[in-house]
Structure 1
């Protein structure tokens, strides 16, 4: 599980870098709505990633202890995505729907890119 924690921390670091770039975008570009929407979606995505990581750890402990296994929280992730949509639809002058959805997908994109990078790094090490 230690490598799982390191992987999660690496993902959080990458997402925080993206949030810093988005914040600069809000401050220095005329596309405030786009960058605010990306920030909203990415923050909710980061919370979903943290929640999923916590649930996976509990899931692994339950399996190791041969206890009953609970769900991984799909309903809570859907509720958070619905919350983001409600915020966007309530404040259309500040947020846009498409960049918010892209922000919601950020953690998954970061996971995929990190996986490919770690695989490339591992393959390069073995050759």
Structure 2
């Protein structure tokens, strides 16, 4: 569980960089609805990642203390995704549904890419 605690600041900064790119895309391209969808989905994805890290820490503490651990917040993450879809359906001229879905998946893609890069970096240093 400690690994996730140390990983979160790096992942958060990567997601903030992506959000900055999305804001630039919003300002300089004619695809405002797509970039607004990406921004909404990515912001909620960052929130889901934060919830996961916080709940994982609580889960580990409960195991260390011998208590019965709570869940890792799966329902809260599903509810956040449902909120994103409700917002998108309520304002279809503002948010693009595909952009929101892609944004919701951003944190998982960032985690996978970061793990691949860290493994390559570790192997390179072992040489």
Q: TM-score range by the shorter chain?
A: over 0.9
* Equivalences for residues 63-82 of structure 1 within 5 A: 63-82=63-82
Q: Aligned to 2:92, what secondary structure does the other structure show?
A: coil
Aligned to 2:104: 104
> Could you tell me how far apart the structure 2 residues matched to 1:3 and 1:125 are?
20
What displacement does 1:64 show?
A: 1.2
Structure 2 residue runs of 5 or longer lacking an equivalent are none
Question: Is the aligned partner of 1:83 residue 2:83?
Answer: yes
Question: Is the aligned partner of 1:31 residue 2:31?
Answer: yes
* Equivalences for residues 1-127 of structure 1 within 5 A: 3-127=3-127
Q: TM-score, normalised by structure 1?
A: 0.96
> Could you tell me how far apart the structure 1 residues matched to 2:13 and 2:78 are?
24
Aligned length: 127
What displacement does 1:4 show?
A: 3.1
What displacement does 1:65 show?
A: 1.2
Q: Aligned to 1:44, what secondary structure does the other structure show?
A: helix
Structure 1 residue runs of 5 or longer lacking an equivalent are none
What displacement does 1:96 show?
A: 1.1
Q: Aligned to 2:94, what secondary structure does the other structure show?
A: coil
Report runs of 4+ in structure 1 exceeding 2 Å deviation: 1-6
